[in-house]
Amino acid sequence: MAEQKEKPRKVGAMGMVPYEMALGPTWTKFFEGFKEKKILGTKCNKCGRVLVPARPFCPRCFEPMEEWVEVAQEGTIVTWSYVNYTYFGVTPDMIPVIGATIKLDGVDCGTGMWTQISGFDIKDFELVTKKVKVGARVKAVWRRKRQGNFRDIDYWKIIE
């Protein structure tokens, strides 16, 4: 390479792009249920499975899921993990967080990644490993003011 004046530079910028996504009729109804402290699932005509979050169609049978069921708000922990690091958008005051997948009673799948466990001093790691176990029973705790999104369930607390 011909002569250079200084070391290669880096250029910083913020990428900011606005997006607005349509929820679609199924998820609109699912989140309306949250406003009324209800967890709604849908049932597949073909395989009979009840899935939460509610779906427009069954991922395995590919049939429409048109039967709505109000499901229990208690379940068992399938798996959990203790999050202890930050990245852009997550500040030290936002961690730790205990993410978990929960199998609600009467539902044929786990909840996926939007459920968190709390209700005690989760900053105490030793206490966390004692209380949070695969198979433990948990119950939903709702936020007082609900807006119809996944944050309406504040956390899931362990039922001793």
Note the residues at the interface with another protein (CB under 8 A): 1-2, 4-24, 27-28, 31, 51, 53, 59-60, 78-92, 94-95, 97, 99-101, 103, 109-116, 125, 128-129, 134-135, 149-150
Structure token digits, residue 73: 């708000």
Residues 6+ apart with CB under 8 A from 84: 95, 96
Cβ neighbour number for residue 36 with a 10 Å cutoff: 12
First to last CA, the chain: 69
Q: Using the minimum distance from each CB to another protein, give the nearer residue, 91 or 144.
A: 91
Q: Using the minimum distance from each CB to another protein, give the nearer residue, 11 or 144.
A: 11
Q: Using the minimum distance from each CB to another protein, give the nearer residue, 27 or 142.
A: 27
d(CA 21, CA 97): 27
Least Å from the CB of residue 92 to another protein: 7
Least Å from the CB of residue 133 to another protein: 9
d(CA 87, CA 27): 29
Q: Using the minimum distance from each CB to another protein, give the nearer residue, 25 or 160.
A: 25
Least Å from the CB of residue 144 to another protein: 21
Residues 6+ apart with CB under 8 A from 91: none
Least Å from the CB of residue 155 to another protein: 11
